[in-house]
């Protein structure tokens, strides 16, 4: 068996076109403010990609770059200013933050109405209750990728590898909801799971967000399973142009010989994450107009 690719680039482009169509009906246009603290090159690249996606989606982007010496108090003050700014619909503080800054406190300080990452406890609670204001970008991107490729989830066994607040936990919550594109039986594996392969081999849909390269090998995948690889890891490769290349958390070559569908890395989940961020920003702008 040779797996079909779950193309995140094509699916995300369709979402951005829909966002653009709806955004053009709003005045003022939806706006997203990205805050970058420090000079981490990967974070700077992520912010540039989001700025480009904003331009393609009819969303105004605002970029606030702060030095790595920024204090917690200064960053909190900026967040308060953005919360009060009627011209800002969504606020994104790019992770990781420099050492010494408390990310949890910053997340909690962002207005839940502008929390387009869906990290604020209020929005997490709404998600768990099944009445989300926003959807967490990466998990929602995974779900949408499945739906757009007509992959049935209802009654399926979904195994999530990873329990982070960004991917693993919200992914499990999304997939167990009694709703279209969900209604699955969900198992969550993590670093404390014994014999992880026992569980992953039972998965009809295997979603991996472990944060370690190639942690899921081909013999850990059930024949015909759908494999969604959320991981993005840079590894040494002398044959690559920069001497490094990106790989996922799944051994793509081995798993693709067993699975029915699989996401490429890059080009799978990553573009979907950005597309859902655009959708959430649009949603924030629509809610802004409804609340006036």
pTM score? 0.95
The DSSP 8-state label assigned to residue 250 in this structure reads B
Residue with tokens 């979603």: 207
Structural element, H or E, at residue 51: helix 41-57
Cα–Cα separations (whole angstroms), residue 194 to 54, 190, 191, 199:
43, 9, 8, 9
Cis bond before residue 117 (omega within 30° of 0): no
Q: Is it the case that residue 1 has pLDDT exceeding 70?
A: no
pLDDT interval class at 292 (50, 70, 90): low
Q: What is the arithmetic mean of pLDDT over 145-150?
A: 97
- At 203-244, the pLDDT tens digits run 999 999 999 999 999 999 999 999 999 998 888 877 777 787
Q: What is the pLDDT of residue 289?
A: 75
Q: What is the pLDDT of residue 44?
A: 78
Q: What is the pLDDT of residue 263?
A: 98
The residues with which 160 forms a beta bridge, in sequence order, are 188, 207
pLDDT interval class at 290 (50, 70, 90): confident
Catalytic site positions: 50, 94, 117
Q: Give the Cα separation of 12 and 211 in Å (integer).
A: 23
Tokens of 115: 């929390």
Print the SS3 string covering 220-271.
HCCCCCEEEECCCEEEECCCCCCCEEEECCECHHHHHCCCCEECCCCCCHHH
Give all domains of the chain, ordered by start, each with its CATH number: 28-111 (3.40.50.10860), 137-270 (3.40.50.720)
pLDDT interval class at 130 (50, 70, 90): very high
């Amino acid at each position: 068996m040779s797996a079909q690719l779950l193309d995140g680039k094509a699916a995300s482009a369709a979402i951005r076109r829909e966002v653009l169509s709806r955004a053009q009906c709003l005045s003022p246009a939806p706006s997203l403010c990205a805050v970058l603290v420090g000079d981490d090159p990967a974070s700077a690249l992520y912010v540039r990609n989001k700025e480009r996606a904003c331009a393609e989606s009819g969303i105004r982007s605002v970029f606030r770059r702060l030095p790595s010496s920024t204090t917690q108090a200064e960053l909190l003050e900026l967040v308060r200013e953005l919360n009060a700014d009627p011209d800002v619909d969504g606020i994104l503080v790019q992770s990781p933050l420099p050492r010494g800054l408390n990310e949890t406190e910053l997340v909690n300080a962002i207005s839940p109405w502008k929390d387009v990452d869906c990290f604020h406890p209020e929005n997490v609670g709404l998600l768990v209750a099944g009445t989300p204001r926003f959807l967490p970008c990466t998990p929602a991107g995974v779900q949408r990728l499945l739906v757009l490729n007509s992959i049935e989830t209802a009654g399926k066994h979904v195994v999530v590898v990873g329990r982070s607040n960004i991917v693993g936990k919200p992914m499990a919550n999304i997939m167990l909801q009694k709703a279209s594109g969900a209604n699955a039986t969900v198992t969550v594996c993590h670093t404390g799971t014994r014999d992880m392969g026992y569980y992953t081999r039972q998965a009809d849909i295997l979603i991996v967000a472990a944060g370690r390269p190639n942690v899921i090998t081909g013999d850990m995948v059930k024949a015909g399973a759908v494999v969604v690889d959320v991981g993005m890891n840079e590894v040494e490769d002398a044959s690559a142009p920069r001497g490094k290349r990106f790989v996922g958390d799944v051994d793509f070559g081995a798993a693709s010989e067993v699975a029915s569908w699989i996401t490429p890395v890059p080009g799978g989940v990553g573009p979907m994450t950005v597309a859902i961020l655009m959708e959430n920003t649009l949603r924030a702008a629509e809610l802004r107009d409804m609340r006036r």
